Amino acid sequence: MSRFVLLDRDGVINDDSDEYIKSPEQWRPLPGSLEAIALLNRHGFQVAVITNQSGVARGFLDEATLAQIHAKMRREAQAHGGRITAVYYCPHGPDSACPCRKPKPGLLKQFAADWQANLAETVMVGDAFRDVQAAWAAGAQAVLVKTGKGLKTLAENPHLDVPIFDTLYDAAQFLSQKN
Residue 18, Cβ density class (10 Å: 0-12 exposed, 13-18 middle, ≥19 buried): exposed
Q: Which of 8, 16, 131, 170 is catalytic?
A: 8
Annotated active-site residue 131? The verdict is: no
- Could you list the pLDDT tens digit for every one of the 179 residues in the chain? 579 999 999 999 999 999 999 999 999 999 999 999 999 999 999 999 999 999 999 999 999 999 999 999 999 999 999 999 999 999 999 999 899 999 999 999 999 999 999 999 999 999 999 999 999 999 999 999 999 999 999 999 999 999 999 999 999 999 999 76
Nearby residues of 161 by Cβ (< 8 Å), 6 or more positions away: none
Query: Which residues fall within 8 angstroms of residue 77, CB to CB, at 6 or more apart?
Result: 34, 37, 38, 47, 83, 84
What amino acid is encoded at 13 in this protein? Answer: I
Q: Which of 10, 16, 127, 170 is catalytic?
A: 10
Q: What is the pLDDT of residue 179?
A: 60
Predicted pLDDT at 1:
53
Global pTM value: 0.97
Is 10 a known active-site residue? yes
Q: What is the pLDDT of residues 98-139, one digit of tens each?
A: 999 999 999 999 999 999 999 999 999 999 999 999 999 999
Q: If phi over 0 gives left and psi between -120 and 50 gives alpha, with beta otherwise, what is residue 146?
A: alpha
DSSP 8-state secondary structure symbol assigned to residue 30:
P
54: containing domain: 3-178
- Sequential DSSP letters for 140-177: PEEEEESTTTHHHHHHH-TT--S-EESSHHHHHHHHHH
CATH of the domain at 165: 3.40.50.1000
- Any idea what the Cα angle at residue 99 is, between residues 96 and 104, rounded to 5°? 100
Domains held by the chain: number: 1
